[in-house]
Structure 1
Amino acid sequence: MAGSVWTALELSLSCISALSLISPAWFQSPTFSFGVFTYCSWPQSGSWNQSCGTFRSLDDIPDFAWKVSAALLLGGWLLLAFNAVLLLSWALAPKELCPRRGSGKIPVVQAAAATTTIVGLLVFPTSLASPFAKEACGASSVYYSGHCKLAWGYGTAILNAVLASLLPVISCSRMTKVQGRTILFSNDTEKIILVPEISK
């Protein structure tokens, strides 16, 4: 049961992370919004005539800090997705096939994914000093968004990184078990015999 809940959490975090990565709503002005890999613009009149574009490769991304952030965020998402697929395969596989399921490097991969994502999120606002961001946001600079405001895509990515960083902590506390002891009474010797509990 706990493995299924854990797998569902991992899959949910992977999907939310992917949604925030493809979202163009990280920073938004009245006529323009952009995210890590996509951007959109619309007329000042507020009509629904919206045009969007995508940065198809790292070469298309306009700033070096933006490229570093995109690589880190994509790497964090790939680690998170790999972890989710591994947990899903363990949850669906027969117990005889995977007797040691849940042990190993799962918390380490999860922690690496969370760390990579957090570093990518910290680097991304330095790209507000790029010519692309200055054109969209006016007088923007490093960690200052000018006329743009923080949008839901960046907020979702931050929340997702916090939740992803909490999962390894929960995993370590869930895996730690206190060694129990069984108390047996012997009628012959009238002594208490302590026997280590055997896990089933």
Structure 2
Amino acid sequence: MVGSVWAALGLSLTCISALSLISPAWFQTPTFSFGVLTYCSWPQGDSWNQSCVTFRSLEDIPDSAWKVSAVMLLGGWLLLALNAILLLSWAVAPKGLCPRRGRGPMPGVQAAAASATILGLLVFPISLASPFARDVCEASSEYRGGRCRLGWGYVTAIFSAVLAALLPVISRPRVTNVQGATILFSSDTEKIILVPEMHK
């Protein structure tokens, strides 16, 4: 049951992260928006009539900081996808095959994915100083959007990065030590008897 919950969380997080990556709405103006992999334009007041372009390779991406951010964000997403696949395999595998079913090796993979994603999110706003972003956002510079305002794609990416960072912390097992008591099992009464430890 616990493995299934973690698998569902991992798959959901991977889908949310993918949605934010393909979204062109990271920064936007009234007639233009761009994200890590896509940008769109439309006539003034007619946002339903969009024409969008996807960067097909790293050479197409207009700025070096943008390229670094794209590589980090895609790497983080691939690690999240690997994590989701591992979680799913742990959830559906027979009990004898995977003795550590609840967690498996995922916290390390997910922590690496969260780190890569957070670094990519921190690097991406540097690309607001690129000629491409300056043409669109006019007075933009590093970490300043100019005419561009923050879009839902970037906010969703931040949300998924925070969740990816928190889930490994939540999945750690909690060990409680009871000091000063010995637990005895009585077969006569079938009760648990707590006996305080005597210090010498």
For Structure 1 versus Structure 2, the TM-score category normalised by the shorter chain is: 0.7 to 0.9
Aligned pairs (5 A) from 1:113-152: 113-152=113-152
Identify if the C-alpha distance between structure 1 residues 147 and 99 changes in structure 2 by more than 3 Å, giving closer, same or farther.
same
For 1:65-109, what per-residue CA distance to the aligned partner results, in whole angstroms no more than 9, with x for missing partners? 000000000000000110000010111111122223345531111
Deviations 1:100-129 (A, max 9, x none): 334553111111110110010000000000
Which residue of structure 2 lines up, in the alignment, with residue 184 of structure 1?
Answer: 185
Distance in 2 (CA, whole Å) between partners of 1:158 and 1:47 is 25
Aligned mates of 2:134, 2:194 — CA distance in 1: 76
Contact 2:2 2:102 (8 Å CA) reproduced: no
In the alignment, is the contact (CA less than 8 A) between 2:31 and 2:41 conserved in 1? yes
TM-score (norm 2): 0.87
Runs of 5+ unmatched residues, structure 2: 196-200
- The one-letter amino acid of 2:131's match is P
What residue ranges of structure 1 are gaps of 5+ in the alignment? 195-200
Whether the aligned pair in 2 keeps the contact of 1:185 and 1:193 (CA below 8 Å) is no
Percent identical pairs in the alignment equals 71
Find the aligned partners of 1:7 and 1:47 in 2 and give their Cα distance.
Answer: 37
Deviations 1:5-62 (A, max 9, x none): 1111111000000000000000000110000000000012426321100001111100
Q: Please report the TM-score for the alignment, with normalisation by the length of structure 1.
A: 0.87
Is 2:38 the counterpart of 1:38? yes
- Counterpart CA distance in 1 for 2:52 and 2:165 is 32
Q: What pairs up with 1:59-138 in 2 under 5 angstroms?
A: 59-138=59-138
CA distance in 2, matches of 1:128, 1:13: 27
- Shift >6 Å, 4+ stretches: none
Tell me which amino acid in the other structure corresponds to 1:176. R
RMSD: 2.0
Which residue of 1 is the match for residue 168 of structure 2?
168
Contact 2:21–2:36 under 8 Å retained in 1: yes
Question: Secondary structure of the residue that 2:160 maps to in structure 1?
Answer: helix
C-alpha distance in structure 2 between counterparts of 1:47 and 1:22, whole Å: 18
The structure-2 alpha-carbon separation of the partners of 1:120 and 1:23, relative to structure 1 and needing over 3 Å to count, comes to: same
Number of residue equivalences: 188
Question: 1:183 corresponds to which letter in structure 2?
Answer: L
